[in-house]
Amino acid sequence: MEAATMAWTAAVVGAGLVYWFVWVMGAAEVKGKRAVDLKMGSITRDKVQDKYTQYWSFFRRPKETATTAASAEKVPAFVDTFYNLVTDIYEWGWGQSFHFSPSLPGRSHRDATRVHEERVADLLGARPGHRLLDVGCGVGGPMRAIAAHSGSDVVGITINEYQVKRARAHNRKAGLDSPRCEVVCGNFLSMPFPDASFDGAYSIEATCHAPRLQDVYGEVYRVLKPGRLYVSYEWVTTPLYHAEDPGHVECVHGIERGDALPGLRRQDEIAAIAKEAGFEVLKEQDLALPPALPWWTRLKMGRIAYWRNSIVVRVLTLLRIAPKGVSEVHEMLYETAQHLTRGGETGIFTPMHMVLLRKPPAAASTEEEAK
Ligand SMILES: C=C(CC[C@@H](C)[C@H]1CC[C@H]2C3=CC[C@H]4[C@H](C)[C@@H](O)CC[C@]4(C)[C@H]3CC[C@]12C)C(C)C
Ligand SMILES: C[S@@+](CC[C@H](N)C(=O)[O-])C[C@H]1O[C@@H](n2cnc3c(N)ncnc32)[C@H](O)[C@@H]1O
């Protein structure tokens, strides 16, 4: 074969491989986001690397970020940066629901995710005519599942403007646009909603971003109508976690650093904080415990896909289709996945400690008296 023909053949095969890797293999399992569409939220292309460096130096020592008041105040802004950096990668590699769920035998991840979300609606007794609050709504996967399953209307709040845009676009596409599902950009530590304006509230793997859980619970308590319910899936360490074990500490720090967390709480702290906020604790259960099947199998099974994704991201960065810095963010997530898997396998961590709380019916008269 002549040199020119060989060069042409190599070029065509090479281009074909790139196309296959990036456009075909690079599509999300739910065929939502494609690798070529990876943006970094509201961050401009040239700022991605800097923003990642800033994020990393802030969350490198997670416990310190929560303990000094000055840095605790900065947490929401850094959480916002985090979601600018990861939202597209999450959608691309995980889907529209940014949480875990117990595996279900013979069922897809998608089904398991939906069942875990519908459980929230069932616990709340949600029905048509109810207006629910989704505290930390992401791009709205849970919101759409809960609205469709229960017939309730849902209002979601997220700190990240880019997620608001994504969630609204998904809602429109699903035929669940306002008033069925609404999305507001705001801080759940000080929410832009009137007192006693919701018939129910829930948070799925979101309140772990708050430096003080009391502050979010206090806000949810304020906006709930008396007698109404709040369900939360909390990220916590379990009684199997030992602070003297360096392996445990490394695992938990890894989870905190790679997930924008100002320090994981202990499982036994949650109910006490809820009561301090004024709630009655109706139920508390770690949904990850047997007979539930492991929530981390999906993370583990994805390893080959992550390796492929990592190559896709590098190639796209090289071709200047993806902004510089995306590879570092992807690497960080890859490492985080190892820590999360270790946390699950050792049982020292759960992302689904469920609490079902009620604002006492008598709260109405007590609040009136206090005025
Ligand atoms: C509740 C939170 C997020 C939980 C999960 C949705 C995400 C935690 C870790 C994420 C991922 C890790 C590995 C990524 C992989 C390297 C990439 O190729 C594709 C995306 C990942 C699978 C990504 C997906 C989302 C997570 C599982 C926190 C933030 C409180
Ligand atoms: C891991 S995601 C979970 C999203 C959604 N609950 C789901 O399961 O798909 C956490 C969410 O909490 C939101 N969040 C974190 N801190 C927040 C804050 N201070 N105010 C409002 N939203 C916040 C993030 O923007 C993100 O949408």
Give domain limits for the chain. Answer: 35-359
CB 56 less than 6 A from any atom of ligand 1: no
The answer to which of 67-76, 87-96, 232-241, 288-297 has the lowest mean pLDDT is 67-76
What band does 47 get if pLDDT is binned at 50, 70 and 90? confident
Q: Whose CA is nearest to atom 4 of ligand 2?
A: 138
Cα–ligand 2 centroid distance for 6 (angstroms): 52
| Confidence check: pLDDT of 62 > 70 | no
% of the chain at pLDDT higher than 90: 72
Rounded to an integer, the average pLDDT of 233-242 is 98
The residue whose CA has the least distance to atom 20 of ligand 1 is 93
| Cα 315 from Cα 224, distance rounded (Å) | 49
Measured distance CA(197)–CA(216) in Å, rounded: 16
Residue 369 in this model has a pLDDT that exceeds 60: no
pLDDT tens-digit series, residues 249-260:
999 999 999 999
Q: Please state the rounded mean pLDDT for residues 29-56.
A: 77
- At residue 301, the pLDDT reads 83
Q: From the CA of 93, how far away is ligand 2's center (Å)?
A: 18
Q: Which residues pair with 132 in a beta bridge?
A: 154, 200
Pairing assessment for the beta strands 224-237 and 349-358 based on DSSP bridges: antiparallel
Residue 223 pLDDT class (50, 70, 90 cuts): very high
Give per-residue pLDDT as tens, 184-214.
999 999 999 999 999 999 999 999 999 999 9
- Between CA 257 and CA 267 the distance in angstroms is 19
Would you tell me how many other CB atoms lie within 10 Å of the CB of residue 307?
Answer: 11
Measured by CA distance, the residue closest to atom 9 of ligand 1 is 337
Residue whose Cα lies nearest atom 21 of ligand 1: it is 93
Tens of pLDDT, residues 118-176? 999 999 999 999 999 999 999 999 999 999 999 999 999 999 999 999 999 999 999 99
Of the listed ligands, the closest to the CA of 28 is 1
Residue nearest to atom 11 of ligand 2 (CA): 136
DSSP conformational letter for 24: I
Ligand 1 geometric centre to CA of 138 (Å): 13
Q: What is the pLDDT of residue 38?
A: 77
CA 136 – ligand 2 centroid, Å: 3
Q: What is the ipTM of this complex?
A: 0.99
Ligand 2 atom, smallest distance to 98 CA:
9
Ligand 1 in reach of 306 Cβ (< 6 A)? yes
What's this model's pTM, rounded to 2 decimal places?
Answer: 0.91
Is a pLDDT exceeding 80 seen at residue 24? no
Higher pLDDT, residue 264 or 59: 264
**Given the CA of residue 351, which atom of ligand 1 is nearest to it?**
1
68: left (phi over 0), alpha (psi -120 to 50) or beta: beta
Lowest mean pLDDT among 25-29, 110-114, 268-272, 329-333: 25-29
| Atom nearest to 163 CA in ligand 2 | 27
Ligand 2 atom 7 nearest Cα: 98
Is 35-359 assigned to CATH 1.10.10.10? no
Q: Which of 258, 254, 284, 251 is nearest to 352 (CA)?
A: 284
Does 208 contact ligand 1 (Cβ within 6 A)? yes
Whether residue 94 has its Cβ less than 6 Å from ligand 1: yes
Atom of ligand 2 at shortest distance to CA of 188? 20
For residue 334, pLDDT beyond 70:
yes
| Mean pLDDT confidence for 350-368 | 85
How many Å lie between the centroid of ligand 2 and the Cα of residue 209? 8
Q: Is 101 in the pocket of ligand 1 (CB under 6 A)?
A: no
- The model's pLDDT over 4-15, given as tens digits with 9 standing for 90+, comes to 777 777 777 766
Ligand 2 atom with the smallest distance to the CA of 139 is 9
| 146 sits in which H/E element | helix 141-150
- Tell me the backbone φ, ψ of residue 350, rounded to 5 degrees: -135, 140
Least confident of 48-57, 104-113, 210-219, 239-248: 48-57
In short, whether 337's Cβ falls inside 6 Å of ligand 1 is yes
Percent of the residues in the chain that have a pLDDT greater than 70, as a whole number: 89
Q: How confident is the model at residue 29 (pLDDT cuts 50, 70, 90)?
A: very low
Is residue 140 in contact with ligand 2, taking CB distance under 6 Å?
no
What is the structure's pLDDT at 110?
Answer: 95
